[in-house]
Structure 1
């Protein structure tokens, strides 16, 4: 079984938590090959005047590492 590295990446969106998680994945995909998993660790948001103005998804991205 290959070794796996896990990094934490936060994505943001003005629309939804799901979109924030997708952004985290898309950003990680630009520099990481063979992503094998994504775990949403935490959902948070910024609120102004009683409205959510920014959704945040803190994710853990897993990918194999070469020895």
Structure 2
């Protein structure tokens, strides 16, 4: 493998359906502006509970993508 550098960012995604949907939505949205996504790692999961409202599933993801120098 050639020498490479990767940047890691954290994003939080939400869904009223599931943690899986929250993660998938986050990755899908991030892929619109970030190129060459490599790894997604779930760091944290929780559920926001508010009486009278649907549960909100939340995931905190670390996403890595190949870092390219600007020229």
Q: Return the TM-score normalized by structure 2.
A: 0.85
Match of 1:45 in 2: 47
Greater percentage in strand: 1
- Asked if the contact 1:45–1:52 (Cα under 8 Å) also holds between the matched residues in 2, the reply is no
Match of 1:65 in 2: 67
Does residue 8 in structure 1 map to residue 10 in structure 2?
yes
Structure 2, unpaired ranges of 5+:
none
Q: Return the TM-score normalized by structure 1.
A: 0.90
Aligned residues: 67
Match of 1:19 in 2: 21
- Asked if the contact 1:14–1:55 (Cα under 8 Å) also holds between the matched residues in 2, the reply is yes
4+ residue runs over 3 A deviation: 49-52
Please tell me whether Structure 1 or Structure 2 has the larger radius of gyration of its CA atoms.
Answer: 2
CA RMSD of aligned residues (A): 1.7
